[in-house]
Chain A
Amino acid sequence: GAGVSQSPSNKVTEKGKDVELRCDPISGHTALYWYRQSLGQGLEFLIYFQGNSAPDKSGLPSDRFSAERTGGSVSTLTIQRTQQEDSAVYLCASSLGAVGGRVKDTQYFGPGTRLTVL
């Protein structure tokens, strides 16, 4: 595809249920990021994948959140036992990758998944 795609675009779930959000990055991009954006807020970093390296999970807010990236491409963000405070837009971004440890590359964002926990 031409850009980063995410699915579903909207997800409404009940408190306590698990949800899976999917991100399909731009082909050839080795770096993949997940962010969360609450209404009127900036982007909160969640997790970062770079190639085959161990992901940086430092932004995950709790152990209910996990993510994986299979085959260096598609990524899935899983939220277990969802809470109302998890309601937000979850954005995925990809870039060509870090070069020399520096963020030199533009991050291209997907359209996001709007999660509503009732």
Chain B
Amino acid sequence: RKEVEQDPGPFNVPEGATVAFNCTYSNSASQSFFWYRQDCRKEPKLLMSVYSSGNEDGRFTAQLNRASQYISLLIRDSKLSDSATYLCAVGQGANDMRFGAGTRLTVKP
């Protein structure tokens, strides 16, 4: 079993749709959680950190469920520009970040 798992997709949604991704992790001692966005042939860029209480940034909402060991990312009112691969990252310590393989999202007109 991989340490961090994501549904690879692709998720194909129309503009304006709400879409949600989950990311499961295996190490219960994990302390830090992040969502990154990666455009085609580009480097990953931090989208948002995930806090225990959940956090929201505009159309994006991230949540953490420690009991079930997953994090989620919700995108509301999706835009064409949201099309990308979304990577989750889970950290157990200072140098122990594990990335998922990513979920590919395509938003269509």
Contact = CB atoms under 8 A, between A and B. Distances in A.
B32 A104 contact: yes
A91 B8 CA distance: 21
Interface of A: 31, 33, 35, 40-43, 45, 48, 50, 56, 91, 98, 101-104, 106-112
Contacts of A42: 4, 6, 87, 99-102
Given A41-B101, A42-B101, A42-B102, A103 B46 contact: no
Contact of B46 (A41, A43, A106): A106
A115 to B, nearest CB: 14
A65 to B, nearest CB: 16
Contacts of B4: 42
B43 A111 contact: yes
Contact of B97 (A45, A50, A91, A111): A45
Nearest to A110: B43
Contacts, number: 62
A99 to B, nearest CB: 8
Contacts of A45: 96-99
A101 B8 CA distance: 31
Contacts of A33: 95, 97
B51 to A, nearest CB: 12
B44 interface: yes
B65 interface: no
B31 A91 contact: no
